[in-house]
Amino acid sequence: MPDELRKLLVEHFRWVDPGPAASHLVSDVSGWWREPEILARLGPALADLFRPDRPTVVVSPEATGLMLGPLVATALGVGFVPAYKKRPDGRLIAGPTTWASTTSDYRGRTLTLGVRDRHLRPGDRVLVVDDWVATGAQLRALYQVVAARSAEPVGTAAVIADCPAGLAAELRVRALLTGREI
């Protein structure tokens, strides 16, 4: 990845203190979406991490993934499939959906992620895309959904990998930056 994009990503990232009740700082990547140069270069840079693996579709979890995934899908010339989080009120997305639950994530939460069945086809080569990988909990759940639909996860392209190297290798995570660089 060109150093210019790396510099822009770091420059437009912020750690935010949400207040005295919080136990940790919160990441703020909203500056990335304001910069046209980042928007133009981010999709192709993430796509290049997995271009040789020939993905046929990109899957990304809400919320930030719904902005990032289409940039990567467009750069690869493939479709995009959103992965939704089950709502606390029990409201489901329309249509048959395959769901999988996470183990505890970086906030100690357990989430349930789902993809509409009609959008993942047997034999699809799925690239998962997200902004940040910390515990891999969401990736594991998405890989379960992908396998349940008889598709194959080729790996995960992330802007930031803040996870142990062994976990990144196991889940085939490739990233533009590490947590230490932010």
pLDDT of amino acid 133: 96
| Amino acid in position 38 | I
Averaged pLDDT of the chain: 94
pLDDT of amino acid 24: 82
pLDDT of amino acid 179: 92
Domain ranges of the chain: 3-181
pLDDT of amino acid 12: 97
Closest of 180, 147, 148, 146 to residue 61, by C-alpha: 146
Two tokens, residue 113: 């992620």
Confidence of residue 46 (pLDDT cuts 50, 70, 90): very high
pLDDT of amino acid 23: 83
Q: In the predicted model, is pLDDT for residue 35 greater than 80?
A: yes
Mean pLDDT confidence for 34-52: 97
Mean pLDDT confidence for 127-153: 97
d(CA 151, CA 138): 17
Mean pLDDT confidence for 154-158: 99
Cα-based distances in Å from 61 to 27, 113, 115, 136, 144:
17, 8, 9, 12, 14
Mean pLDDT confidence for 26-54: 96
Q: In the predicted model, is pLDDT for residue 1 greater than 60?
A: no
Per residue in 60-88, pLDDT (tens digit) is: 999 899 999 999 999 999 999 999 999 88
Q: In the predicted model, is pLDDT for residue 116 greater than 60?
A: yes
Q: In the predicted model, is pLDDT for residue 90 greater than 80?
A: no
Q: In the predicted model, is pLDDT for residue 2 greater than 80?
A: no
Q: In the predicted model, is pLDDT for residue 93 greater than 90?
A: no
- CATH fold for domain 3-181: Rossmann fold (3.40.50)
| Amino acid in position 63 | A
Q: Residues near 80 by Cβ (< 8 Å), separated by ≥ 6?
A: 57, 58, 59, 60, 69, 70, 73
